Structure 1
Amino acid sequence: MRLNVFGGVLAVLAIVLLIVAWGSMFTVYQTRQALVVRLGEPVRIVTEPGLNFKIPLIDTVIPVDKRILDLDNPAQEIIASDQKRLVVDAFARYKIVRPLLFYQSVGSIEGANSRLATLLNSALRRVVGESSFEALVRDQRTQMMGRIREQLNRESQSFGIDVVDVRIRRVDLPEQNSQAIYQRMQTERQREAAEFRATGSQRAQEIRARADRDVTVLIAEAQQRAEQTRGEGDAERNRVFAEAFSRDQDFFTFYRTMQAYEAGLKANDTRMVLTPESDFFRYFGDPRGRSRKPAASGGRPPADGAPPQGGGRAAPEPAEVARPALGRPCRTSSSPSASCS
């Protein structure tokens, strides 16, 4: 009987010891840090991960997150500096850097979110209220978010919190004002586009006028140089012709006549109303270009066997006369009835 009682007591003591041993140990993970509170008073902070010990039933371990936490803030309606009502949706990210101060000031993450949301709304109203709607939606949003983060971080230091980032997720107009604002913005953009088109058209006209003037000047200069070159060429041609004429007048006359034939008789429909005995066709009857008109004899030639005129002087040497028709010239004999083949 005594052995049974003794064994039961030992078992109870073992269980109690196990419970006490289990209750005196706690584990800190890598993503957390721990605040040890003894009877409501903080005694130490554990920031390194691993196995730690505490007094069971007296010490309480409060885990504190070491990661970056998100604060989702509901959209707020804010009046900008240009008196436009804006719906601003923003969020923040923060980190607990001083667990003891965090526990003493806000106590928990829920309390921290509540206090930070109030501070974030206040900073949004101050910064957005100093800026216009166009600045907020165009090129100053980054600077505005930086200013909001600085103000929020400065005010949250008393909570043991470091604000890492603040972002403006969306900026919209109230539904009742959106259409009117969009219409006005469209009108302004159309006016700017019309001004740009007018400026471009004016510059295009100036460029065209300048180009036309340059073209006119270039053409005039080119024509002037062409006339000058043409005049120099004509002068050189006349000089060459004059030099050729002075060297051999007969050949020069023949050459120029051949050029006139080529120019005048080139086309198939060329018609000339000229007598064959004209001076223009003299080279058709005589290669030397002598006139085809017979010399005046003062009367008919003497009859066969009649003595020549002039007191019985001997007849002159046979002379070349042009034939009436096209062909080679012939030489007359002493007989007036001789003919040429």
Structure 2
Amino acid sequence: MTHVDMAETGRSTGNTQAAAPAESRAVYWRRRLREGLGPGTWRRGLVVAALALLDGIVMMGHAAIPNRVGSLGSLVETFLPWFGLAVPVLLVCALWRRSLTAMCALVLPVFVWFNLFGGLLTDKSGGGGDVTVVSHNVAEENTDAAGTARKLVESGADVLALQEVTQDNRSAYEDGLAEAYPYHEVEGTVGVWSKYPLSDTRPVDIHMGWTRALRTTVTTDGGRLAVYTAHLPSVRVKLDAGFTANQRDASADALGEAIKNEPIDRVLLLGDLNGTMNDSALANVTSQLRSAQGAAGSGFGFSWPADFPMARIDQILLRGVQPVSSDVLGETGSDHRPVRASVDL
């Protein structure tokens, strides 16, 4: 009897010893939870919270950032979608700091980013289309113009708009595109190749001193289209001058005036604008036309640089026609990727 009592006592003692660590762990985690959700969670991570608010405010108020100093506003707007990448980084910092303040502050940049760009995440492209157009900066330094011409033919475009057509590479494009595109016009360093007849072609003065824009009428089976192609001045980021976009902005204003005076209702602008639809400095153009990518594409449609696109500076803009699809083609040997869209007349 004594032996049984001792065994039972031992089992009882063992159970108590086994329960003690479990109870201690529960107490430990309750204490940690109280610490994590205590008043300190609002005081921690204030720097992270401030950075989150700043990120959201910059995206929300990008149009108010002035261009007077180094064209800072245009620089921010060119890469505006990438400001969303700060959110996951700040989220990790907020979790690491166990900061409720930072977590709450992150709501602002998330809300603003999805308000600006959430619509681009859905696929709005459809099939068909009366006319397919492609715009491509073929790059003066492209060493395989003939190969680029073959890839452009394979795109299935009815109308091609090319920028950086030079004396050295012009014959390669004329020869390579002649069979598929019997009509073409070149003014300065821009040109249009078409399966449909072209007429009333003339250079457009964008205040550069040489021709980098033209306007032509494309007579399709469904009616006339006024097609513009333009290569606005390049921009650079310099330590002493910031984002050098003043000449581009002046050219964009001149191009916008030409489009404003266009008598044909159906208008397409195909070109390297060296700026995005978010760039308020291009408002004289973008306020009159809408983006095929934004209306009928999928994703951001980044086109430059070709090996790792970070911005869509090659545009297909339109009015008076309905875009049905828009996409970006593969590399061609240029530092830009071609952009394509199909439209209903």
- TM-score band (shorter)? under 0.3
TM-score w.r.t. structure 1 length? Answer: 0.23
Higher RCO by CA contacts (8 Å cutoff, separation 6 or greater): 2
Q: Which of the pair has more CA radius of gyration?
A: 1
TM-score w.r.t. structure 2 length? Answer: 0.23
Higher-helix-fraction structure: 1
